[in-house]
């Protein structure tokens, strides 16, 4: 990464105004020494404490999230907050602790892993399922991390562990600029900075999530007490002061490419000039997860009416989960105009978007972005009880650009028709989403098992050709986010002056070096239809579906299970899931 020299970095200003930042960084400078002295087993015990506190305070966490997002506390949608909040942090801390235990024993986090191969001289690592509980709770779902081409099994095992392979060699102070949408992002990014990169962390919360400060303070107390983490709040001025501070060695952010560029190059005409010339004003490295326009590719095939209804609900969920305020929310559905069931599918998709539960537009600027989409597409349909959902169909190629180049970060979904069939459709769709869509964070593929089998090796080549950090086949890429041992981030290769969906990965609890992507697979049909069609899955409608009637109960039970996995907890989870 190209950065400017230290002399080009503007000095911090307003030090008196930002005394809290100075104090936090001074604490972390001392805390780094404490962190360096901790053994791997001592670090693992701290993670175990964070794990236990996450589950202990999970209800308070969810209550705060419900307030932030204006949800009815009795709504099934509260399940989203359980699963994308404390559940995610509980599973991540457990997995990271297990990796440290293997390193402490002189081994590798990948000892005992299942390796495979993928096209293009790639080695794969199975990251889901990893045990019998995974197989039961996520029946039919799987995930693999594909390593970058040429990395073999022995190299992967040797290099897994990242900075924890030399724990006493700490790497300064990292800043994490937290996201304002999914409540686990900030603590998960903090854990990754601390463990994968061995940097102590100043976490600045997004102002939207400031109500979480008391809960996160309690949850992260073991790391705060040893001086490894400090929590900060404040607006853009605090963030600017913090990232440019001379005591900060690295910045990680989740947000928009515009915010990234403002941090790295500055704003206005001078910022644009610096970006064009690749002359950063940020005198340190930055990693990032920035979203983009995520596609869902629907491969044509023979679908039953039940298949069409279920997959329409699936894609509606990909857009409407968390109100549409997700970095990896599907924004454009790519279909074949030659598919004989196209119209029936679009009618079902329209109905699923229209009938999904109503919710408030809590994320700032949402209504403005929706209005911008409607202005760009005057024939767009307004759906839902409040008309805040937008569906755009029947576009001419000359009308595509706003949909493919603008991340609306709002409940806006478009449909793109390509005039091809069979393998040619898959090839053209991959080329289209690689070349014409901004961002590389995630892509979804929906296809019947019969279609996948009929394509043979062409399907594998299709998946390989997709240049995205997470690829989900008959699943949503959000499953990759929820899988602690999977990687999460953009496809590798972006630079600060063409950042797309960001630089680097997070999560990655197996601490895998040089990953390229995560590939998630799920069942095309829910149980019992999956069993009747001989799919190897007994999963009912997933609890993250926006129309799942028992998602809140299932999410709460899953979080308790993540706190203390036990066979005794499974019947209640299954019973709730089946009623969804």
pLDDT of residue 96: 98
Residue 31 has pLDDT above 80, yes or no: yes
Residue 6 has pLDDT above 70, yes or no: no
Per residue in 321-369, pLDDT tens?
A: 999 999 999 999 999 999 999 999 999 999 999 999 999 999 999 999 9
At 516, which helix (H) or strand (E)? strand 515-521
Q: Which letter does DSSP use for residue 30 in this model?
A: H
Contact (Cβ atoms closer than 8 angstroms) between residue 463 and residue 516: no
pLDDT of residue 513: 98
CB-side neighbour CA atoms (13 Å) of 435: 6
Per-residue pLDDT band for 532 (boundaries 50, 70, 90) equals confident
The percentage of the chain sitting over the pLDDT mark of 90, rounded to a whole number, equals: 95
Name the nearest CA neighbour of 306 among 344, 356, 263: 344
3-state secondary structure of 298: strand
* Packed helices 40-56 and 551-563: angle between N→C axes, nearest 10 degrees: 150
Beta-carbon contacts of 131 under 8 Å, excluding residues fewer than 6 positions away, are none
Q: What are phi and psi of 125, to 5 degrees?
A: -125, 125
Torsion sign across C-alpha atoms 336, 340, 341, 342: positive
* Domain ranges within the chain, ordered by starting residue: 113-159, 293-438
Per residue in 278-331, pLDDT tens?
A: 999 999 999 999 999 999 999 999 999 999 999 999 999 999 999 999 999 999
Please list the residues that pair with 413 across neighbouring strands. Answer: 391
In 10 A of CB 3, how many CB atoms? 18
CA dihedral 189, 331, 344, 354 (to 10 degrees): 80
Mean pLDDT of the chain: 95
* Packed helices 457-465 and 422-436: angle between N→C axes, nearest 10 degrees: 10
pLDDT of residue 198: 98
User: Using only C-alpha atoms, what is the Rg of the chain?
Assistant: 23
Q: Which letter does DSSP use for residue 524 in this model?
A: S
135/133 Cα distance (integer angstroms) = 5
Name the nearest CA neighbour of 319 among 428, 396, 392, 419: 392
Per residue in 88-143, pLDDT tens?
A: 999 999 999 999 999 999 999 999 999 999 999 999 999 999 999 999 999 999 99
Per residue in 154-178, pLDDT tens?
A: 999 999 999 999 999 999 999 999 9
Beta-carbon contacts of 430 under 8 Å, excluding residues fewer than 6 positions away, are 297, 462, 465, 466
4/433 Cα distance (integer angstroms) = 33
pLDDT of residue 15: 56
pLDDT of residue 11: 43
Per-residue pLDDT band for 209 (boundaries 50, 70, 90) equals very high
530/539 Cα distance (integer angstroms) = 8
Instruction: Assign domain 293-438 to its CATH superfamily.
Output: Aldehyde Dehydrogenase; Chain A, domain 2 (3.40.309.10)
Per residue in 56-86, pLDDT tens?
A: 999 999 999 999 999 999 999 999 999 999 9
3-state secondary structure of 401: helix
The pLDDT of 470-484, averaged and rounded, is 98
DSSP string, 231-283: EE---HHHHHHHHT-TT--EEEEES-HHHHHHHHH-SHHHHHHHHHHT--S--
Residue 194 has pLDDT above 50, yes or no: yes
Strand order in the sheet with 442-446: 115-118, 122-128, 142-147, 515-521, 470-473, 442-446, 294-298, 330-336, 412-418, 389-392, 381-383
Per-residue pLDDT band for 243 (boundaries 50, 70, 90) equals very high
Residue 4 has pLDDT above 60, yes or no: no
pLDDT of residue 533: 87
């Amino acid at each position: 990464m190209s950065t400017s020299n230290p002399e080009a970095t503007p000095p911090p200003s307003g030090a008196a105004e930002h005394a809290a930042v100075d104090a936090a960084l001074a604490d972390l400078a001392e805390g780094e020494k404490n962190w360096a002295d901790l053994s791997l087993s001592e670090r693992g015990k701290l993670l175990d404490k964070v794990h236990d506190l996450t589950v202990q305070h999970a209800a308070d966490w969810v209550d705060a999230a419900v307030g932030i997002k204006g949800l009815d506390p009795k709504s099934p949608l509260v399940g989203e907050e359980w699963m994308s909040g404390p559940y995610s942090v509980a599973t991540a801390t457990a997995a990271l602790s297990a990796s440290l235990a293997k390193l402490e024993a002189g081994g590798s986090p990948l000892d005992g892993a299942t390796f495979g191969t993928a096209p293009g001289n790639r080695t794969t690592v199975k990251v889901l399922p990893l045990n019998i509980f995974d197989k039961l709770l996520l029946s039919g779902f799987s995930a693999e991390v594909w390593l970058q081409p040429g990395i073999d099994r022995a190299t992967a095992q040797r290099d897994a562990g990242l900075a924890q392979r030399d724990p006493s060699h700490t790497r300064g102070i990292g800043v994490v600029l937290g996201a304002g949408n999914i409540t686990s992002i900030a603590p998960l990014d903090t854990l990754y900075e601390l463990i994968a990169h061995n940097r102590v962390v100043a976490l600045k919360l997004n102002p939207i999530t400031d109500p979480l400060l008391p809960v996160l303070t309690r949850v992260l107390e073991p790391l705060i007490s040893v001086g490894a983490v400090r929590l900060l709040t404040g607006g853009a001025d605090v963030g600017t002061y913090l990232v440019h501070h001379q005591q900060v060695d690295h910045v990680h952010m989740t947000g928009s490419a515009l915010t990234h560029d403002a941090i790295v190059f500055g704003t206005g005409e001078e910022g644009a000039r610096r970006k064009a010339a690749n002359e950063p004003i940020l005198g340190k490295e930055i990693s990032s997860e920035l979203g983009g326009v995520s596609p869902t590719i629907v491969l044509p095939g023979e679908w039953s009416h039940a298949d069409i209804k279920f997959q329409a609900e699936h894609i509606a969920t990909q857009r409407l989960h968390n109100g549409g305020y997700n970095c990896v929310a599907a924004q454009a559905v790519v279909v074949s105009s030659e598919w004989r069931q196209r119209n029936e599918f679009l009618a079902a998709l329209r109905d699923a978007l229209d009938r999904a539960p109503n919710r408030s537009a809590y994320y700032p600027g949402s209504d403005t972005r929706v209005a911008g989409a409607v202005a760009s597409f005057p024939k767009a349909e307004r759906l839902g009880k409040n008309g805040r959902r937008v569906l755009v169909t029947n576009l001419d190629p000359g009308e595509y650009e706003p949909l493919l180049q603008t991340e609306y970060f709002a409940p806006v979904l478009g449909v793109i028709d390509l005039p091809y069939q069979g393998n040619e459709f898959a090839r053209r769709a991959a080329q289209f989403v690689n070349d014409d869509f901004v961002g590389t964070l995630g892509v979804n593929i929906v296809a019947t098992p019969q279609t996948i089998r009929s394509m043979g090796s062409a399907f594998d080549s299709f998946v390989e050709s997709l240049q995205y950090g997470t690829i989900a086949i008959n699943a949503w890429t959000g499953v990759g986010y929820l899988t602690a041992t999977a990687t999460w981030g953009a496809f590798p290769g972006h630079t600060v002056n063409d950042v797309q969906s960001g630089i680097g990965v997070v999560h990655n609890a197996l601490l895998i070096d040089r990953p390229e992507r995560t590939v998630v697979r799920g069942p095309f049909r829910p149980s019992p239809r999956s069993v009747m069609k001989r799919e190897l899955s007994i999963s009912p409608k997933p609890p993250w579906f926006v129309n799942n009637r028992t998602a809140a109960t299932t999410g709460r039970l899953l979080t308790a299970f993540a706190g203390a996995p036990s066979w005794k907890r499974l019947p209640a989870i299954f019973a709730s899931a089946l009623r969804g």
